[in-house]
Structure 1
Amino acid sequence: MNDKHSKPPEVISSAQNPRVKQWAELQSRKGRDKSGRFIIEGLHLVEEALNSELVPPETVVYAEDRKAVCAPLLARARAAGIECVAVAESVLAKCTDTLTPQPVFAVVPKLPWRLSDLMKPAAAGTASALVIAIDGMQDPGNLGTIIRSADAVGATGIVLGKGTVDLYNPKTVRSTMGSLFHLPIVSADLTECLPQAAEAGAQVIGTSLQGAVPLYDCDLRPATWIVIGNEGQGVSEAVSERVGRHVLIPMQGRAESLNAAMAATVMLFEAARQRGF
């Protein structure tokens, strides 16, 4: 006797399917902003999303021809009541950003964090407050690297200022390796929120090549916001005026400067070292 529940799932194979069109729209910032959702690609990122109680996936989409690779993940998603949809490889390619598509992607709501979530530690004046503020960074890989570094040292959050690449850009999402689910990340006007952080008791520091204190002479144990600028232009003048202290990363070699993501990583780990990490 056939059980209707044992029938194989319907496989979406047409790129003209309305749902496929909706998923494909999430490749653009306009589409993501309109729907309030974004796409994560690959087994690792989908697993990280399933581990997140904050924003679990709404839908998991997988290649029918490669479902064996996804079987444990799909079983877990179904057990959590998450919709799982089988598609053809051509549909997977249309909805994802990678040259060689991963066997699975998921549709996830945007993170719900607000700036007030980051102001609470600063207001308390605790040593645990450690925030990275990004001013106009354009490279998604750099942003993803900073998010991973901030996650690695247990930073309390990240603020994305005006002109910064979209957090939900597929390349940014991939380069975070799931760390975007581990700490608060918000968008805000740095010219407004940096003074608020200072008033709440945090020190606001940034890097500079002129007239700056060496990083290793700077006490990073108090509540601290670290400002990192654009890859080519650095911190904008308007934001720099809101920085309370400029520091210099000492270098013994002949390199003129560090990549923005590397500079942020050095500063984050120095703060962690001083705090007994």
Structure 2
Amino acid sequence: MTMNKKVIQITSSHNEQMKRWKKLHSRKGRMKYQALLVEGEHLVSEAIRAQVPIRSLIVDEKQEEKVKQLNTSAPIYMLSSSLFHSLMETESPQGIAAEIHMKEWKEEELLAHAPSRSIFLLLDAIQDPGNLGTILRTAEAAGVTGVFIGKGTVDPYNPKVVRAAMGSIFRLPLVQVDLSLCLPRLKERGIHIIGTSPHAGKWHFEYTFPSKVAILLGNEGRGVDPALFSFVDEQVMIPMPGGTESLNVAITSAILLYERIRQQYLRG
């Protein structure tokens, strides 16, 4: 191998690094090590581009060429193809993965640095990894200030969420909270909270988004926990002339976020 980088060969599944990486497949393991395992050229490149601390690169020995263009000083661990495949959860691994440090955001940290025009998402028990990943990807695209992950929501560092978020997980501030305690603190800071209801009486485009706002989104089946509704300042409804009863929660988030953007462009 001709790379001027530190390369460590691993030949056994009993290696301590292998044992550590396998633990990162569980939420408990990710919390313990404050790390997650990401797989594939795109996600590894996105993590490097976002300047997330890379603890190690993990490479299938048949794919060593993929490492040469990556701008990182992280140690490289070379595995046989069989060993690499045994470590990965996808059916067709791409031959490169990385262990990256998970930044632990604090509520106060996020709020203290929020700009005068801020928008937050409040997620109550979103359970589908694809939905959460799509919400996070859309949130980054829409310039969301931060996302508060409520109890019952799927782990945002679940591999399926990470893949669906397409790299947004590395750049978007995420705080895991008890929403019943968090919402009053947001209101104390002058942040208006909006929710959705088919009986709201006001279309989402009739609502004028204030400079500081948070959108509360609920579980795919039951919606928002009724106990949280007392904190909502305004409820809006999205037109559905086709007659369906509800929209996918990720679609709802996109409609509301981009309505705010539309209003911002109109205001100038």
Same fold at TM > 0.5: yes
1:186 corresponds to: 175
- Structure-2 separation of matches of 1:10 and 1:48: 23
Matched, 1:105 2:97: yes
Matched-pair contact (CA < 8 Å) for 1:221–1:271: no
Give the direction of change, closer, same or farther, for the CA distance of 1:114–1:6 in structure 2 (3 Å limit). Answer: closer
Q: CA deviation at 1:237?
A: 1.3
Which residue in 2 is equivalent to 1:118? 110
Q: Which amino acid aligns with 1:41?
A: E
Deviations 1:64-121 (A, max 9, x none): 1111233212xx22xxx21111111222223222111121111111123211133236
Relative distance call for 1:150 and 1:88 in structure 2 (3 A) is: same
Amino acid at match of 1:134: L
Deviation at 1:9, TM superposition (A): 4.4
2-structure distance, mates of 1:95, 1:220 = 46
The answer to whether structure 1 residue 269 and structure 2 residue 258 are counterparts is yes
What is the CA–CA distance in structure 2 between the aligned matches of 1:142 and 1:33, rounded to whole Å?
22
Please state how far the C-alpha of 1:56 moved relative to its aligned partner. Answer: 1.8
Cα 1:212/1:87, change in 2 over 3 Å: farther
> 2:91 corresponds to which letter in structure 1?
L
- 1:144 is the counterpart of 2:133: yes
Q: Tell me how far apart the structure 2 counterparts of residues 84 and 223 of structure 1 sit (CA, whole Å).
A: 44
Mean Cα displacement is larger for which, 100-109 or 160-169? 100-109
Match of 1:210 in 2: 199
Change (3 A) 1:6 1:186: closer
- Structure 1 alignment gaps of length 5 or more: none
1:70 to 64, 67, 70: 67
Aligned to 1:195: 184
- Alignment equivalent of 2:240, drawn from 251, 255, 269: 251
Contact 1:27 1:95 in 2 (8 A): no
Distance 1:110 1:270 in 2: 31
2:58 to 57, 61, 66: 61
Contact 1:15 1:90 in 2 (8 A): no
Change (3 A) 1:226 1:157: same
Instruction: Deviation per CA, 1:212-236: give whole Å up to 9, x if none.
Output: 4210000114211001111111001
Q: For residue 134 of structure 2, what is the amino acid of its counterpart?
A: T
Task: Confirm or deny that 1:220 pairs with 2:209.
Answer: yes
When structure 1 is superposed on structure 2, of 43-52 and 130-139 the one drifting more is 43-52
Q: In structure 1, what is the Cα distance between the partners aligned to 2:75 and 2:4?
A: 16
SS state of the match for residue 132, structure 1?
strand
1-structure distance, mates of 2:4, 2:134: 44
**Aligned-partner SS, 1:196:** helix
- CA distance in structure 2 between the aligned counterparts of 1:19 and 1:43, rounded to whole angstroms: 21
1:93 paired to 2:85: yes
Distance 1:261 1:112 in 2: 24
Residue 69 of structure 2 aligns to a residue whose secondary structure is: helix
Q: Which moved more, 1:37-46 or 1:88-97?
A: 88-97
User: Is the contact made by 2:142 and 2:257 (CA closer than 8 Å) also made in structure 1?
Assistant: yes
Query: More displaced, 101-110 or 131-140?
Result: 101-110
Q: State the TM-score, normalized to the length of structure 2.
A: 0.92
**Whole-Å Cα distance in 2 between the matches of residues 164 and 102 of structure 1?**
29
Partner amino acid, structure 1, of 2:92: T
- Percent identity reads 38
